[in-house]
Amino acid sequence: MASNPSAFLKENFIFHRIILVLLLSCTPDSTNLSYDSSSQESSPLSVPSKPLLRTLPLDGHFNFEDIQYAAKDFGGRYHNLPFAVLHPKSVSDISSTIKYVFKLGSASGLTVAARGHGHSLQGQSQAPNGVVIHMESLRQPKMRVHNGGSPYVDVSGGELWINILHETLKYGLAPKSWTDYLHLTVGGTLSNAGIGGQAFRHGPQIDNIYELEVITGKGEVITCSGKQNADLFHAVLGGLGQFGIITRAKISLGPAPERVKWIRMLYHDFSMFSRDQEHLISRKITFDYIEGFVNINKTGILHKWRSSFTPSDPLQASLFKSEGKVLYCLEVALYFNPHESNVISKRVNELLSELGYIRSTLVMSEVSLVEFLDRVHLSEMKLRAKGLWDVPHPWLNLLVPKRKIGDFAKEVFGNILTDNSNGPILIYPLNKSKWNNKTFLVTPDEDIFYMVAFLPSAMPSASGTESLERILAQNERIKSFCSTMLPEVKQYLSHYSTQEEWQSHFGPQWEVFVQRKLEYDPLAILAPGQRIFPRTSAKRTVARVQVT
């Protein structure tokens, strides 16, 4: 009796699929997956000579000297010197470079990393003895704003969000979703997610993209969208740079308001604080921006805000004491145009009347949209002036499901942390229904989940609570608690040391993640700083070719 052809093909496909996963899932020693954060340079690799790279026909150029800046990032803990830095002036510069590295094969060990504004945290934009691409040098295509029924802006992957804001405002338009800090590149935030106080309504930045141009790990230049090359489109958005380098993006725009009502208020009780946040993000008519902060044992919070905000009750505000307490700040904003002032004031009062904040702590301000969205930059300039910006930033970002946020807050804010004098702690809810589930961005499996971001700065030569060692130990305690008691918690801007941890992070998505890597970056050339896949060996490449 003849065998069933379809059954045979199905069985054969499954076998090949398993083999493919195993080839990239084999976990080498941890030293092959992570780099020593204390070293200034990684161990030498077999790389081509400088003259060979110099012969590539480019519109831009390579740098081989004075490239120490590319061995650092905002996190300030990992230092891996590249072999060269590419300053591209065209997309073909990046494509030609990656094609060259791909043709060298596995033996070279050469890797490529895209570096935006250098704001990554754990060496993700670094390429030890590899090639770092300085994406801010890429200014093609020239930024173009398209009006119409579905307006968008067409920009380079190396463009900064702050520049996009200024350009789109000329047309009365602006992107809908933002991060709190705008001096980041488009490619950088879209490779992660891009989360801020508008994400509860519009989703993260990766969910507001119409189209991308991507260069894969083979050097191919591919245009992709939700309808064209959709697998690559959804892989790259939130894909940590593993599948391609974003060189162009079409970003959705909406009407831009002129003014912003900016409001802050404090809570003693976490359950009331979280209840009010969840109420606001679930309301159809609500604020345009919603975030929260945790203040632990801070002195004179309201006094520090008064230069920017006006207390609703100055006398009561002057009597309020914050030291020795854990307080929760709800920060909200409502966008409007000047002719809407009366309507907006009524709406603000209506929304505030539904909340259970401490009445004496309500403070308000009115600013332009640019002043509001670019507010963190003012803090940056002050810190730079004091020499306190370029210090280690051992940040920890977590996504916590709603049903566990009370347990999380009780342990972390009640026991693990004693103060937060060296950086803000953000905490605010998000609606999963606004997020695209086709990307590799991992979130808790619950309708509402919280972003909790610990954003400390380790002061130079500091001891005690502001020392790097103390902050890192504190982070480990938080992660250990989550791993043991709250396994549903997921890391955002993820960082792990072993492939087993990455596999656990991605869970059921891991197999597809590996398949996409094999398809778009089969030699594991791209984004080595994420430490997900080791550079593919020649032996493994041959085995894979034989299997396929």
Residue numbers annotated as active site:
119, 180, 291
Does residue 302 sit in helix, strand or coil? helix
Does residue 500 sit in helix, strand or coil? helix
**Locus of tokens 């702590």:** 361
Cβ density class 449-475: b for 16+ within 10 Å, e for less: bbbbbbbbbbbeebeebbebebbbebb
User: Quick count: other Cβ atoms within 10 Å of Cβ 378?
Assistant: 11
Residues present in the chain in total: 548
Say how far apart CA 224 and CA 236 lie, in whole Å: 10
Say how far apart CA 453 and CA 512 lie, in whole Å: 28
Q: Is 73 left (phi over 0), alpha (psi -120 to 50) or beta?
A: beta
Query: CA of 227: how far to CAs of 5, 224, 524, in Å?
Result: 32, 8, 26
Token code pair at residue 278: 């969840």
Looking at the DSSP bridge assignments, the partners of residue 255 are 173
DSSP string of 199-235, one letter each residue: HHHH--GGGSEEEEEEEETT--EEEEESSSSHHHHHH
If you ran DSSP here, which 8-state letter would residue 526 be given?
A: B
Does residue 261 sit in helix, strand or coil? strand
Token code pair at residue 125: 């934009």
